[in-house]
Amino acid sequence: MTVGIGICGAAGRMGRMLTRTAHARAGARVAAASERPGNPAVGRDAGELAGLEPLGVAVGDDREALFASSDVAVDFTAPDSTVANARRAAATGTGLVVGTTGLSAGDRAALAECAASAPIVFAANMSLGVNLLLGVTRRVAAALDEDFDIEIVEMHHRHKVDAPSGTALALAEAAAAGRGVDLAAVADRGRDGATGPRRRGAIGMAALRGGDVVGEHAAIFAADGERVEIGHRVTDRGVFARGAITAALWAHGRAPGLYGMEDVLGLGA
């Protein structure tokens, strides 16, 4: 039996990629697709929109219809739409995978509330490799004491508007969790001028921007005489779609709850 995947925001770059990935994935099928009312893609075939042969799935503008037709919905849209979709998932018990960025603390609280009634997978980065990096970072931070300074370095394309990236923040949070400290108390998110010596136990973050870099992240553990570096590079945005469809297949039939990619990958502590 295949899992019916609903694609929220089907006309966007990620939406089209998700359609292609779900269609090609064994055990999955594109069951529904949606866009905001008034989007020119409404009424078009989701497969044709994604550069495939027609799939017989028309892009609609009815959130309720998408959730009624899907086993699991995948959402890489915008925070307001994501929260509305989470509430619909809660009302129907339908699984939801969220890859939307820029969620506020209030948005995340809404996801957690909705997850009491539906399985919701949320991650700052859906790449399977990045989520392995998060797990390894947590373990390395737990194994090394404060003689090892921790620095998180990320680089993205010139058009990215936020810094540090959500993934860099997630790496810093993983390192802080490994150390058993509150990230807010130890984070050093920028240095300029005469900053004085590095604070022992701080977790530093640096953001680089340039060119068309899709995404590069590294966690550096530096002590006197040695340095441990673990990192990840993305060269194709398709990795995010692959991770999201993997999460959707995993979420199907799960009990309600707020899950992360560490759960999908079996990396939970």
Per DSSP, the three-state class of 102 is: coil
pLDDT at 168 over 80: yes
Report if residue 175 sits inside a domain: yes
Please identify which of the residues 156, 217, 232, 252 carries the catalytic annotation: 156
Domain that holds residue 250: 3-122+237-264
Tell me how far apart the alpha carbons of residues 213 and 211 are, in angstroms, rounded to a whole number. 6
- Determine whether 159 is an active site residue: no
Q: CA-to-CA distance for 71 and 4, rounded, in angstroms?
A: 5
In a domain, 199, yes or no: yes
Residues sharing a CB contact under 8 Å with residue 235, sequence separation 6 or more, in sequence order: 214
79 prior amide bond cis, ω within 30? no
Model's pTM, two decimal places? 0.82
CA-atom Rg of the chain in angstroms: 20
Whole-angstrom distance, CA of residue 99 vs CA of residue 121: 9
108 occurs within a structural domain = yes
Catalytic residue among 23, 157, 159, 160: 160
Q: Indicate the number of domains in the chain.
A: 2
Question: What is the CATH number for 58?
Answer: 3.40.50.720
Which backbone phi and psi does 63 adopt, to 5 degrees?
Answer: -60, -40
The pLDDT-based confidence of 229 (bands split at 50, 70, 90) is very high
Residue 43 in domain: yes
Q: What integer is the mean pLDDT of 209-228?
A: 97
Q: 82-108: per-residue pLDDT in tens? A: 999 999 999 999 999 999 988 888 999
Percent composition of the chain: helix, strand, coil (DSSP 3-state, to 5): 35, 25, 40
156 included as an active-site residue: yes
For the chain, percent of residues with pLDDT exceeding 70: 99
